[in-house]
Amino acid sequence: MSTPLLPHTKTVRKVVDNEEKVASELCSLVQKLANYAITERGHFKIGLSGGSLAKFLCGGLPSIETSWDKWSLFFCDERLVPFSDGDSTYKLYKAGLVGSTPLTEEQFVVINPELDVEEAAKDYESKVRNSFPDCEWPKFDVLLLGMGPDGHTASLFPDHKLLDERSVWIAPISDSPKPPSCRVTMTLPVINNARCCIFAMAGAGKAEMVKRILGDGEALPSAMVKPVSGELYWILDTAAASKL
Protein backbone atom coordinates (compact mmCIF):
# COMPACT_ATOMS: atom_id res chain seq x y z
CA MET A 1 0.00 0.00 0.00
CA SER A 2 1.28 3.46 -0.77
CA THR A 3 1.11 6.27 1.76
CA PRO A 4 -0.68 9.52 1.00
CA LEU A 5 2.04 12.05 0.21
CA LEU A 6 0.34 15.35 -0.57
CA PRO A 7 0.82 18.18 1.94
CA HIS A 8 -2.20 18.86 4.10
CA THR A 9 -4.35 21.80 3.17
CA LYS A 10 -5.61 23.68 6.17
CA THR A 11 -4.69 24.14 9.85
CA VAL A 12 -6.96 26.10 12.17
CA ARG A 13 -5.83 27.07 15.65
CA LYS A 14 -8.59 28.27 17.92
CA VAL A 15 -7.87 29.64 21.41
CA VAL A 16 -10.80 30.13 23.79
CA ASP A 17 -11.05 31.33 27.39
CA ASN A 18 -11.37 28.13 29.38
CA GLU A 19 -12.03 24.40 29.45
CA GLU A 20 -15.78 24.81 29.25
CA LYS A 21 -15.41 26.80 26.05
CA VAL A 22 -13.01 24.19 24.60
CA ALA A 23 -15.76 21.63 25.12
CA SER A 24 -18.48 23.80 23.58
CA GLU A 25 -16.27 24.81 20.63
CA LEU A 26 -15.43 21.14 20.02
CA CYS A 27 -19.04 19.97 20.19
CA SER A 28 -20.34 22.69 17.90
CA LEU A 29 -17.59 21.89 15.38
CA VAL A 30 -18.50 18.19 15.54
CA GLN A 31 -22.16 19.11 15.00
CA LYS A 32 -21.27 21.19 11.95
CA LEU A 33 -19.05 18.48 10.46
CA ALA A 34 -21.60 15.75 11.18
CA ASN A 35 -24.46 17.60 9.57
CA TYR A 36 -22.34 18.51 6.56
CA ALA A 37 -21.23 14.87 6.11
CA ILE A 38 -24.81 13.62 6.46
CA THR A 39 -26.07 16.13 3.88
CA GLU A 40 -23.23 15.36 1.46
CA ARG A 41 -22.77 11.63 1.93
CA GLY A 42 -25.71 10.38 3.99
CA HIS A 43 -23.67 9.24 7.00
CA PHE A 44 -21.09 10.42 9.53
CA LYS A 45 -18.07 8.34 10.53
CA ILE A 46 -16.17 9.64 13.55
CA GLY A 47 -13.17 8.28 15.48
CA LEU A 48 -13.03 8.86 19.24
CA SER A 49 -10.18 8.96 21.74
CA GLY A 50 -10.10 8.73 25.53
CA GLY A 51 -8.83 11.12 28.18
CA SER A 52 -10.37 14.57 28.61
CA LEU A 53 -11.91 14.43 25.13
CA ALA A 54 -14.43 11.92 26.42
CA LYS A 55 -15.44 14.34 29.15
CA PHE A 56 -15.81 17.21 26.64
CA LEU A 57 -17.93 15.11 24.27
CA CYS A 58 -20.11 13.35 26.83
CA GLY A 59 -20.90 16.73 28.38
CA GLY A 60 -21.65 18.60 25.14
CA LEU A 61 -22.89 16.19 22.47
CA PRO A 62 -26.24 15.42 24.14
CA SER A 63 -27.35 18.98 23.34
CA ILE A 64 -26.42 19.09 19.64
CA GLU A 65 -28.94 18.69 16.83
CA THR A 66 -28.10 16.02 14.28
CA SER A 67 -29.50 12.91 12.61
CA TRP A 68 -28.07 10.54 15.20
CA ASP A 69 -29.09 7.42 13.30
CA LYS A 70 -26.61 8.38 10.57
CA TRP A 71 -23.61 8.25 12.93
CA SER A 72 -21.05 5.43 13.20
CA LEU A 73 -18.52 5.77 15.99
CA PHE A 74 -15.05 4.22 15.91
CA PHE A 75 -12.03 4.40 18.20
CA CYS A 76 -8.75 6.02 17.17
CA ASP A 77 -7.26 3.71 19.75
CA GLU A 78 -8.64 1.44 22.41
CA ARG A 79 -7.19 -0.26 25.45
CA LEU A 80 -7.44 -4.05 25.32
CA VAL A 81 -9.45 -4.52 28.49
CA PRO A 82 -12.98 -5.83 29.10
CA PHE A 83 -15.79 -3.33 28.52
CA SER A 84 -16.58 -3.58 32.24
CA ASP A 85 -13.08 -2.31 33.13
CA GLY A 86 -12.67 1.32 34.18
CA ASP A 87 -9.83 1.60 31.61
CA SER A 88 -12.14 0.84 28.65
CA THR A 89 -12.62 3.91 26.46
CA TYR A 90 -15.83 2.42 25.03
CA LYS A 91 -17.19 2.10 28.57
CA LEU A 92 -16.75 5.85 29.06
CA TYR A 93 -18.60 6.76 25.88
CA LYS A 94 -21.34 4.19 26.38
CA ALA A 95 -22.01 5.56 29.85
CA GLY A 96 -21.85 9.14 28.60
CA LEU A 97 -23.72 8.99 25.30
CA VAL A 98 -26.03 5.96 25.18
CA GLY A 99 -29.18 7.11 26.97
CA SER A 100 -28.37 10.82 26.95
CA THR A 101 -28.48 10.85 23.11
CA PRO A 102 -30.42 8.65 20.65
CA LEU A 103 -27.15 6.77 19.86
CA THR A 104 -27.36 3.01 20.33
CA GLU A 105 -24.61 0.58 21.38
CA GLU A 106 -24.77 -0.94 17.89
CA GLN A 107 -23.53 2.33 16.36
CA PHE A 108 -20.20 1.99 18.17
CA VAL A 109 -17.68 -0.12 16.28
CA VAL A 110 -15.80 -1.75 19.14
CA ILE A 111 -12.84 -4.05 19.63
CA ASN A 112 -13.17 -7.66 20.75
CA PRO A 113 -11.41 -7.56 24.13
CA GLU A 114 -11.35 -11.35 24.39
CA LEU A 115 -8.77 -11.72 21.62
CA ASP A 116 -5.01 -11.41 22.04
CA VAL A 117 -3.63 -8.07 20.94
CA GLU A 118 -2.50 -9.16 17.44
CA GLU A 119 -5.86 -10.76 16.69
CA ALA A 120 -7.75 -7.84 18.23
CA ALA A 121 -6.01 -5.44 15.82
CA LYS A 122 -6.83 -7.67 12.81
CA ASP A 123 -10.40 -8.05 13.99
CA TYR A 124 -10.81 -4.29 14.45
CA GLU A 125 -9.28 -3.59 11.05
CA SER A 126 -11.78 -5.96 9.44
CA LYS A 127 -14.63 -4.15 11.21
CA VAL A 128 -13.32 -0.80 9.97
CA ARG A 129 -12.93 -2.26 6.45
CA ASN A 130 -16.59 -3.29 6.49
CA SER A 131 -17.46 0.40 6.82
CA PHE A 132 -14.94 1.48 4.17
CA PRO A 133 -15.12 -1.16 1.43
CA ASP A 134 -12.88 -1.10 -1.62
CA CYS A 135 -10.42 1.58 -0.62
CA GLU A 136 -6.71 1.69 0.01
CA TRP A 137 -7.10 3.88 3.09
CA PRO A 138 -10.33 4.73 4.94
CA LYS A 139 -11.60 8.31 4.85
CA PHE A 140 -13.08 9.15 8.24
CA ASP A 141 -15.15 12.31 8.41
CA VAL A 142 -13.51 13.31 11.68
CA LEU A 143 -10.91 11.87 14.02
CA LEU A 144 -10.84 13.35 17.52
CA LEU A 145 -7.43 13.11 19.09
CA GLY A 146 -5.89 13.74 22.49
CA MET A 147 -2.28 14.61 23.22
CA GLY A 148 -0.46 12.99 26.13
CA PRO A 149 2.24 14.62 28.26
CA ASP A 150 4.93 12.91 26.14
CA GLY A 151 3.35 14.14 22.88
CA HIS A 152 1.67 10.82 22.07
CA THR A 153 -1.61 10.67 20.24
CA ALA A 154 -3.93 7.68 19.79
CA SER A 155 -1.53 4.90 20.92
CA LEU A 156 1.37 6.25 18.85
CA PHE A 157 4.18 6.99 21.28
CA PRO A 158 7.45 8.91 20.76
CA ASP A 159 10.25 6.86 19.19
CA HIS A 160 8.01 3.81 18.88
CA LYS A 161 8.28 1.66 15.75
CA LEU A 162 4.52 1.99 15.14
CA LEU A 163 5.15 5.52 13.92
CA ASP A 164 6.62 3.90 10.79
CA GLU A 165 3.77 1.45 10.27
CA ARG A 166 2.43 1.87 6.75
CA SER A 167 1.08 -1.60 5.94
CA VAL A 168 -2.03 -1.87 8.09
CA TRP A 169 -4.97 0.32 9.08
CA ILE A 170 -5.06 -0.86 12.70
CA ALA A 171 -1.97 -1.97 14.59
CA PRO A 172 -1.47 -3.83 17.86
CA ILE A 173 0.76 -2.46 20.59
CA SER A 174 1.81 -4.61 23.54
CA ASP A 175 4.45 -2.34 25.07
CA SER A 176 2.54 0.90 25.53
CA PRO A 177 4.55 3.17 27.85
CA LYS A 178 1.23 4.32 29.28
CA PRO A 179 -0.74 1.50 30.93
CA PRO A 180 -2.54 -0.63 30.03
CA SER A 181 0.27 -2.00 27.87
CA CYS A 182 -1.93 -3.79 25.31
CA ARG A 183 -3.95 -1.63 22.92
CA VAL A 184 -4.97 -1.32 19.29
CA THR A 185 -4.48 1.91 17.38
CA MET A 186 -5.14 3.55 14.02
CA THR A 187 -1.89 4.03 12.13
CA LEU A 188 -0.60 7.37 10.85
CA PRO A 189 -1.63 6.85 7.20
CA VAL A 190 -5.20 6.25 8.38
CA ILE A 191 -5.16 9.30 10.63
CA ASN A 192 -3.70 11.48 7.91
CA ASN A 193 -6.23 10.32 5.33
CA ALA A 194 -9.14 11.70 7.40
CA ARG A 195 -11.21 14.61 6.12
CA CYS A 196 -10.60 16.33 9.43
CA CYS A 197 -8.52 15.76 12.59
CA ILE A 198 -9.23 17.68 15.78
CA PHE A 199 -7.11 18.07 18.90
CA ALA A 200 -8.92 19.68 21.84
CA MET A 201 -7.31 20.33 25.21
CA ALA A 202 -7.25 22.64 28.17
CA GLY A 203 -5.06 23.55 31.11
CA ALA A 204 -1.58 24.80 31.87
CA GLY A 205 -0.35 21.21 32.05
CA LYS A 206 -0.58 21.05 28.25
CA ALA A 207 1.26 24.33 27.59
CA GLU A 208 4.84 23.08 27.34
CA MET A 209 3.99 20.21 24.99
CA VAL A 210 1.71 22.45 22.90
CA LYS A 211 4.67 24.81 22.49
CA ARG A 212 7.02 21.97 21.52
CA ILE A 213 4.56 20.73 18.91
CA LEU A 214 2.92 23.86 17.50
CA GLY A 215 5.63 26.37 18.32
CA ASP A 216 8.90 24.47 17.86
CA GLY A 217 7.57 21.84 15.45
CA GLU A 218 9.34 18.97 17.23
CA ALA A 219 8.86 15.64 15.49
CA LEU A 220 6.61 14.15 18.15
CA PRO A 221 3.64 11.89 17.30
CA SER A 222 1.01 14.64 17.71
CA ALA A 223 3.01 16.82 15.30
CA MET A 224 2.86 14.03 12.71
CA VAL A 225 -0.90 14.46 12.40
CA LYS A 226 -1.24 16.37 9.13
CA PRO A 227 -4.26 15.27 7.13
CA VAL A 228 -3.09 15.13 3.52
CA SER A 229 -6.18 16.64 1.99
CA GLY A 230 -8.19 17.55 5.02
CA GLU A 231 -8.39 20.02 7.86
CA LEU A 232 -6.49 20.04 11.13
CA TYR A 233 -7.94 21.86 14.15
CA TRP A 234 -6.23 22.59 17.46
CA ILE A 235 -8.77 23.85 20.00
CA LEU A 236 -6.99 25.18 23.08
CA ASP A 237 -7.82 27.26 26.10
CA THR A 238 -5.65 30.24 26.99
CA ALA A 239 -3.77 28.20 29.62
CA ALA A 240 -2.84 25.44 27.14
CA ALA A 241 -1.82 28.09 24.58
CA SER A 242 0.09 30.23 27.10
CA LYS A 243 3.60 29.26 25.89
CA LEU A 244 2.95 29.84 22.22
Ligand X SMILES: O=C(O)[C@H](O)[C@@H](O)[C@H](O)[C@H](O)COP(=O)(O)O
Q: Inter-axis angle of helices 52-60 and 89-97, to 10 degrees?
A: 20
Closer to ligand X by Cβ: residue 37 or 79: 79
Closer to ligand X by Cβ: residue 66 or 89: 89
Q: What angle do CA 24, 152, 1 make, to 5 degrees?
A: 105
Closer to ligand X by Cβ: residue 37 or 151: 151
Q: Is residue 52 at the binding interface for ligand X, with CB under 6 A as the rule?
A: yes
Q: Is residue 185 at the binding interface for ligand X, with CB under 6 A as the rule?
A: no
Window of 64-72, 99-107, 145-153, 226-234 that interacts with ligand X by CB under 6 A: 145-153
- One character per residue 75-104, x = contact with ligand X (rule: CB under 6 A): --x-x-------------------------
**DSSP string across 190-216:** HHTTSSEEEEEE-SGGGHHHHIIIIIS
Spatial neighbors of 181 by CB under 8 A, at least 6 apart, are 173, 174, 175
Q: Is residue 49 at the binding interface for ligand X, with CB under 6 A as the rule?
A: yes
Binding residues for ligand X, how many (CB under 6 A)? 12
Closer to ligand X by Cβ: residue 38 or 186: 186
Which amino acid does the sequence have at 118? E
Q: Is residue 146 at the binding interface for ligand X, with CB under 6 A as the rule?
A: yes
Window of 16-24, 131-139, 140-148, 213-221 that interacts with ligand X by CB under 6 A: 140-148
Spatial neighbors of 20 by CB under 8 A, at least 6 apart, are none
Min separation Cβ 150 and ligand X, Å: 8
Spatial neighbors of 230 by CB under 8 A, at least 6 apart, are 8, 9, 10, 193, 194, 195, 196, 197
Asked whether the beta carbons of 179 and 213 are under 8 A apart, the reply is no
Using CA atoms, how far apart are residues 235 and 218, in angstroms rounded to an integer? 19
Closer to ligand X by Cβ: residue 34 or 53: 53
Residue ranges in contact with ligand X by CB under 6 A: 49-53, 77, 79, 146-148, 178, 201
